Structure formats: C-alpha cells, structure tokens
Amino acid sequence: MSEELKGKRVAILVAKGFEQVELTEPKRALEAAGAETAIVSPEEGRVRGWDMTDWGRSIRVDVPLDQADASDFDALMLPGGVMNPDHLRRNEKAVKFVKQFFDEGKPVGAICHAPWTLIEAEVVEGRTMTSYPSVKTDLKNAGANWVDKEVVVNDGLVTSRSPKDLAAFCPALVDEIRQVAHVH
C-alpha cells in the first residue's frame, strides 16, 4: 500500500442505482494510495448498486447524508450510473454537499452520468470536462466545455466518460488529491 494519501478522507456520495464498478474501482485505488473512504448516502443502512445491466450488490452506508459535512473530508468522488445521479440531483442536501467541496476548493472526481449532480450544484460553468456522451448537451447548456477524452483534469475536478475509462480516471483522481494535499 502506498502512503501518498495517508491521512486523507474521501467521501463517496451515492444513491440507489450507482454504477457498481465506478464505485469499487476508484475506492480500491484511493485506499491503495492510503486514503480513508466513506460511503455517504441519502439511503439508510445500505445502498444498492447497478452492475452494468442489472441490480448489483448492496454496500454499507458509512455516513448518512443528513450527518455528512464536506468539511470533514479532503475530497469527493461521484460514481455514475443513470439512476444514482438522477436521485442525487433532486436531493437538496446532496446538491449542497457537493457544492461545499467546490466552495472549499477540494478535489472532486465524477464519472459517467455523475456530472448531472454537478450541473445541479451550478459548478460546471467555464470548466473543461467529459462525461458519458448523453450528458454532453446538458453540460454544454450549463456552460461547460465538453471534450471527448478518457479523463479530463480541470482545476481540481477529474471527469471520465464510462467504466472503460477507469484505468485513466483512478490514477488521475489519486494524483489530483495528492497534489492538492501538498499545496495545503
């Protein structure tokens, strides 16, 4: 295990229907780099993932969204899936939680459809980002510069398109958190 993120806490915000691999792979990479991760969710007890074409496993919620405060974390990771960000963007507490990371200048990773929640938090204007192709128009309409790349890093925000980009997304997210940790 690496020590480059030792002492760093990363919130992973999810609702029912998160894309399972988009949670498990970044979580594994963050923990391998020494970070502590915490599943934050509006769901109580456990939250169920989506595994490509059908329901996946349920995972334990570490911190209920009602008790979560971005000040307790060094970074935020947002898995995609279609249902997950759609639930989160309609949850006022989730949107405020996400916005707080941007207000505090903390790194955020968002993959696939997760930028829907970022749009709702009004934090994408002027940023260069990528996402699942069907989110492209939503991002452009919100003022983002959308590009078709496997990973884009823009001022603390790391975005990728889909599970096929996880090999690029995970190390970019770890690196961004590491760089910010050295700045502060």
Write the CB contacts of 44 (distance below 8 Å, at least 6 apart in sequence). 61, 64
CA distance 46 to 74: 23
Going by C-alpha positions, the residue among 120, 116, 141 that lies closest to residue 131 is 116
The question of whether 112 is a catalytic residue gets the answer: yes
Catalytic pick from 87, 113, 182, 184? 113
User: Which of 87, 112, 182, 184 is labelled catalytic?
Assistant: 112
Calpha distance 86→114 (Å, rounded): 8
Please count the other Cβ atoms lying within 10 Å of the Cβ belonging to residue 102: 20
Positions annotated as catalytic residues are: 112-113
